[in-house]
Amino acid sequence: MCQINYCFATVICENIEEILNKCIHNMKYALIIISLLFTTSLLASSNEERFFENLKHYCGKTLHGKSTFPTDPSDSFHGKLLVMKVSKCTDKEIHIPFIVGEDKSRTWILSLVKQELLFKHDHRHEDGTPHELTMYGGYSNGKGSAVSQSFPADAETKIMVPKGVTNVWTLTIDTENNRFIYNLERHAKPRFSAVLELFQDK
């Protein structure tokens, strides 16, 4: 009887050991998957934060430029001097007044919200009151880099601008040439583009 009990106990122990080994093996795979997902999440966040920090390097600086699309002379932006002033920077928000000729009604606002990047267009009258059409934009799509981020129209914008439901704004920092590029696409086609360069007061 003792011998039988011993054999039975040995079989049980071997089965338990096998089960534990399988559990450990599966846990290793689970930890690897979790680690990869966590790393990917951190990378996406850090790209948005790096873009934000790269743009902050221009705080206090002015960039001049012009629209590059559309090229139609009847377009309201055509031939006008475009000026962006990276004027107000905090750890969570950057304000960039965007001047078109003599029109100073526009300000771009980039905000870090729970590790996401939000881009909005703030339009105001001369007395500081908001335009009827203002604060449209969206969150970054998570596919950007430290020098370029794209922002599909958010739900608020789609209600505010029904024709702009497919709008995607892309902001690019050309660090080598001290340039900033603003692109707007609608229905996956170019709608507006502008290139601005760091202004050197001679």
Domain limits of the chain? 54-198
User: pLDDT-derived band of residue 45, with 50, 70 and 90 as boundaries?
Assistant: low
Extract the tokens encoding 15: 């089965």
Question: What distance in Å separates the CA atoms of residue 5 and residue 7, rounded to the nearest whole number?
Answer: 5
Please give the CATH number for the structural domain made up of 54-198.
2.40.128
pLDDT tens sequence across 105-131: 999 999 999 879 999 999 999 999 999
- pTM score over 0.75: yes
pLDDT above 70: percentage of residues in the chain? 77
- Residue 42 predicted with pLDDT over 90: no
Instruction: Report how far residue 137's alpha carbon sits from residue 182's, in angstroms, rounded to the nearest whole number.
Output: 13
Task: Look up residue 53 and give its two tokens.
Answer: 């920090």
Written as six digits, the tokens of 194 are 């502008």
The confidence score (pLDDT) of residue 70 equals 97
What are phi and psi for residue 117, nearest 5 degrees? -105, 125
Q: What does the pLDDT read at residue 31?
A: 45
List the beta bridge partners of residue 136. 121
Q: Name the pLDDT band for 38 (thresholds 50, 70, 90).
A: very low
- The predicted structure's pLDDT at residue 35: 44
Q: How far is the C-alpha of 175 from the C-alpha of 36, rounded, in Å? A: 30
Tokens of 129: 């009151």
Residue 10 banded pLDDT, cuts 50, 70, 90: low
Tell me: pLDDT of 18 over 80: no
